[in-house]
Chains A and B, each alone.
Chain A
């Protein structure tokens, strides 16, 4: 129940800039997922919001008021640490009760809420267990219960589900979302799992090397990533270097490294001669044994026909989809098609095609 604002927040450890100017406004009750490669500053950002670290620059505000001078214990936050950080000298129930005791709740109410919180994380029978005798996944759920039970204004979760199996993960994600929405807790959720982030969060924040690369809904980020890094980090992307030859009405003709001409949507500022990266998502491409009709009449593919000829290297069934590897010249492109699609045999010559609308160009 608080807006959280980061205003050009910086944090250096000696010469190392862990967070290099992050600005972000998180609305009241919003659920934001923080993604990025290992070491990009996610945990540091959470620690700054929690008040465990003092920023070396910028300001952090809760509900418009700077919290720079507010110690962590007065910020009304709930934190799940990447390392769980359970109190090893306390039982499971005592761990969960700690925050409620700090809030001076009467004993019967504490007991009741601890019991409910443990039920939610499926640890109802473990109240009196010593927290040291739990598996990683169990510890993680106790940590989650401990942070949720106090129903804080701001919830900071550092990979809170990393140690759970797929089914439990989904259930816990649902529970977090449910409590978060019911109480209206402003939540920052760090995860390495992009599908988890896309499923749970209102908005995604993609970080790299201490800065935010892009903020937006899952759809915005997936469909219109701002740069090759984001494109490759959220979802998969085939990236091919090339040069713009001509721009006509939001579409550009691009000459790829190997001389092939293709068409792709481009930004307004794209211009002829510009070096670019072409991005095609695996599921936006398809393969066929024969060249697509547009290219058939003439020897050189005319504008509008996006086809690269190559060799089908492998086809792996990944459940609902089949992932194909196609060798095109030096590079290997990834294509994903629905299960059951009729495919040419592995080793045969194929064409990789895609809808120009679905291909994006980034300045190289």
Chain B
């Protein structure tokens, strides 16, 4: 039994957790509107000059665009691969299936920074240039376990035998996938796309090793910038990133529902 008092306590606790999670980010956003030339909280005066400034800084715009492209491509590739892997692991029984299952989850247990270093060494030893493709490959690898997970959950949740029913009605394997399997695992696929996108867009550890001056993703650009200067420009850039993420989440909530994304509904 949950009493009214307990319910209130739980509510307050949940609110506190949310506040702690959002507060630091909120402070950055508030700071970004300062009129001063240094980072200060509370901000002194109100101005959007740092936003104007940040939009004029070409290196940030280039990095933002690059990050966007990398994230889009990495999430699509990771989701496509993840779907194929999940289909194989769920639909077929073959020797070594268990081992493969664990192997595909392995990147989760390796710290990003170590993985980035390893990938750098690996690419170097193969003589592959550090470029956008390298960054995308890195992001695909870190996103793949999540993609496999999301699609696997969706596949397991599918009504039994619907694919066989479609086959019996004359649908070839490809038609079965397009008309039955894909529509039914769509929530998992969309979740994978979104999550992979966010992982890629946020990643610092892996990109840091693979970035060159020409291929610096936005988080790396921010990181490098902070290393040398700390002015409100960076808070404005950060605020923009936060708002983009918020907009993306808002769009998903409107179309799919965030809960659906994590299988809560």
Using a CB–CB distance below 8 Å, which chain A residues touch chain B? 50, 52, 71-79, 81, 83, 85-89, 98-99, 102-103, 146-147, 150
A residues in contact with B183, CB < 8 Å = 89
20 of the cross-chain contacts (CB-CB < 8 Å) are A50-B168, A52-B167, A52-B168, A73-B167, A73-B170, A73-B172, A76-B170, A79-B165, A81-B160, A81-B165, A86-B162, A86-B165, A87-B166, A87-B180, A98-B171, A99-B170, A102-B170, A102-B175, A103-B170, A146-B169
Contact B184 A85 (CB under 8 A): no
Least Cβ distance of A214 to chain B in Å? 29
- Which residues of chain A have C-beta atoms less than 8 A from B264's C-beta? none
> What 1/0 flags go to B139-178 for Cβ under 8 Å of A?
0000000000000000000011110111111111101100
Distance in Å: Cβ of B188 to nearest Cβ of chain A:
14
B160–A83 CB distance below 8 A: yes
What 20 new A-B contacts, CB under 8 Å, besides A72-B168, A85-B162, A87-B162? A50-B164, A71-B173, A73-B167, A73-B176, A78-B168, A78-B169, A79-B165, A85-B159, A85-B160, A85-B164, A86-B162, A86-B165, A88-B159, A88-B184, A89-B184, A98-B166, A98-B169, A99-B169, A99-B170, A150-B169
**Which residues of the partner chain A approach B160 to less than 8 Å between Cβ atoms?**
81, 83, 85
Given A83-B161, A85-B162, A88-B162, check contact A72 B167 (CB 8 Å): yes
Chain B residue numbers with a CB within 8 Å of A73 are: 167-173, 176
Number of A-B residue pairs having CB atoms within 8 Å of each other in the complex = 68
Residue of chain B at shortest CB distance from A76: B170
Q: Report chain B residues within 8 Å CB of A85.
A: 159-162, 164-165
Kindly list chain B residues whose C-beta atoms are within 8 Å of the C-beta of A79.
164-165, 168
Chain A to chain B: the 3 pairs with minimum beta-carbon distance, closest first? A99-B169, A102-B170, A85-B161
A146 to B169, CA, bound (A): 8
Q: How far is the CA of A146 from the CA of B168 in the complex (A)?
A: 11
Taken together as a complex, chains A and B put the C-alpha atoms of A102 and B173 apart, in Å, by 12
Q: How far is the CB of A78 from chain B (nearest CB, A)?
A: 7
